[in-house]
């Protein structure tokens, strides 16, 4: 993660530097009037400002130019004047002693919660995002015992219905026309339940997103959010566009799928930068290396250094599941698909893998302790 900071008097530089989470880089703004020419400014995900006066036109300018990316403002004015001003989107006010906590909340990678929205994105179709979406939904159901909605919008086609060997229900384009009808019971009548507790809405064949208007999309997403606590949006294969960023803003987590090819990693980096500039939480943008081959270079550590993005984890090749997909027998999971789901669960929970020597002796293990 890359941060930039502004402290006109320089008296809070050490406090800011000490609050930066481990692994993040910090650069200082010396001349606010020359920002557009500075690479650290363009590449930064978070701006930290130490405000000692109010009003301050320079600070107003910095916030406006950096927006909608996240800004953390330490209000060090005697009367805490900045707390009384109108807040822009993604402006976080904090006191000096809470700066480290605030930065950590913006940067930290988080487990998938009981209710939430997750986007799968990729600049290239290097991995089977439909298979991953099904796997995520299955594991979320196992953990939370509630329906999961998958918006299967990835390109070049919506594949989940075929993978589950079920007829597709109402599609996403038709949903725009029927937005006033949307409810959980109505959607069930439209055939979205392709498997118990896994509800799927895809795109019709040969249909483009040009038919989707912002107003209709806003109404549809509000209705779907009211009907489902957990939503997975498969946007893999769709080039960065207003629709991607609009839907991404509905999600707390954004998983970028990439294999180990240099071209894939470069595209992943550009996609991440586009998401940051759209205002998503930096810690929610995680790379999933899929497929990941340990014997292939670059390795995981090299990729993490190259991308400067959190690596959430990796997934193995899924070619061995082709027989189950073709036969429509993915669910309930058996054999190799169960092994694959274990890897997916690690991505969801972020729980560390148990050391093999502890497992051998049947000892229980939790992060940081052995019992």
User: Do 190 and 247 belong to one domain?
Assistant: yes
User: Do 323 and 226 belong to one domain?
Assistant: yes
What was the pLDDT predicted at 370? 39
| 10-residue mean pLDDT series, the chain (371 residues) | 92 96 91 76 93 91 93 90 78 93 95 88 90 96 90 91 94 90 94 94 81 86 93 92 88 96 94 94 96 93 91 93 92 92 94 50 41 36
C-alpha distance from residue 260 to each of 133, 154, 189, 226, 300 (Å):
21, 21, 43, 38, 9
Based on its alpha-carbon atoms, the radius of gyration of the chain, rounded to whole angstroms, reads 22
What was the pLDDT predicted at 147? 92
What was the pLDDT predicted at 116? 87
Confirm if 73 and 92 have CB atoms less than 8 A apart.
yes
What was the pLDDT predicted at 359? 42
Confirm if 287 and 249 have CB atoms less than 8 A apart.
no
User: Do 192 and 268 belong to one domain?
Assistant: yes
Q: What is the CATH number of the domain that holds 156?
A: 3.40.50.300
What was the pLDDT predicted at 86? 65
Q: Classify residue 367: in a domain, yes or no.
A: no
d(CA 92, CA 80): 14
Instruction: Decide which of 85, 107, 129 is a domain's last residue.
Output: 107
What was the pLDDT predicted at 324? 92
pTM of the predicted model as reported, rounded to 2 decimal places:
0.90
User: Do 6 and 149 belong to one domain?
Assistant: no
Strand partners, 34: none
What was the pLDDT predicted at 156? 85
- DSSP category for residue 211: G
Instruction: Decide which of 60, 79, 107 is a domain's last residue.
Output: 107
User: Do 154 and 241 belong to one domain?
Assistant: yes
Q: Classify residue 28: in a domain, yes or no.
A: yes
Instruction: Decide which of 107, 126, 157 is a domain's last residue.
Output: 107
User: Do 180 and 210 belong to one domain?
Assistant: yes
Total number of domains constituting the chain:
2
Confirm if 93 and 84 have CB atoms less than 8 A apart.
no
What was the pLDDT predicted at 88? 77
What was the pLDDT predicted at 240? 86
For 173, residues 6+ apart whose C-beta sits below 8 A from its C-beta are 203, 204, 207, 211, 212
What was the pLDDT predicted at 363? 45
Residue 90's domain comprises 2-107
């Amino acid at each position: 993660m890359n941060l930039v900071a502004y402290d006109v008097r320089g008296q809070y530089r050490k406090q800011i530097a000490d609050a930066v989470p481990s692994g993040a880089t910090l650069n200082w703004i010396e001349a606010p009037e020359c920002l557009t020419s500075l690479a650290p400014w363009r590449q930064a995900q978070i701006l930290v400002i130490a405000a000692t006066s109010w009003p301050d036109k320079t600070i107003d300018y910095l916030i406006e130019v950096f927006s909608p990316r996240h800004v953390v403002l330490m209000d060090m004015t005697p009367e805490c004047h900045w707390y009384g001003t109108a807040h822009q989107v993604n402006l976080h006010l904090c006191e000096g002693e809470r700066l480290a906590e605030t930065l950590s909340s913006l940067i930290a990678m988080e487990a998938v919660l009981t209710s939430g929205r997750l986007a799968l994105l990729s600049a290239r179709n290097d991995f089977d995002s439909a298979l991953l979406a099904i796997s995520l939904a299955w594991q979320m159901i196992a953990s939370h015992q509630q329906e999961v909605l998958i918006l299967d919008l990835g390109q070049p086609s919506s594949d989940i219905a075929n993978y589950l060997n079920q007829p597709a229900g109402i599609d996403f384009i038709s949903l725009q026309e029927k937005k006033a009808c949307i409810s959980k019971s109505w959607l069930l009548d439209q055939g979205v339940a392709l498997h118990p507790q896994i509800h799927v809405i895809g795109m019709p064949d040969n249909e483009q997103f040009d038919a989707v208007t912002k107003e209709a999309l806003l109404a549809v997403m509000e209705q779907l959010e009211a009907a489902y606590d957990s939503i997975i949006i498969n946007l893999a294969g769709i080039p960065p566009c207003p629709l991607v960023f609009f839907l991404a803003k509905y999600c707390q987590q954004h998983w970028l799928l990439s294999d180990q090819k240099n071209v894939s990693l470069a595209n992943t980096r550009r996609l991440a930068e586009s998401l940051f500039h759209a205002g998503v939480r930096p810690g929610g943008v995680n790379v999933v290396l899929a497929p990941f081959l340990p014997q292939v270079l670059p390795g995981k550590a090299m990729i993490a250094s190259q991308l400067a993005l959190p690596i959430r984890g990796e997934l193995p090749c899924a070619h061995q599941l082709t027989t189950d997909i073709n036969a429509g027998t993915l669910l309930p999971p058996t054999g190799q698909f169960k092994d694959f789901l274990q890897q997916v669960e690690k991505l969801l929970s972020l729980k560390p893998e148990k050391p093999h020597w502890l497992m051998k002796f049947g000892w229980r293990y939790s992060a940081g302790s052995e019992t």
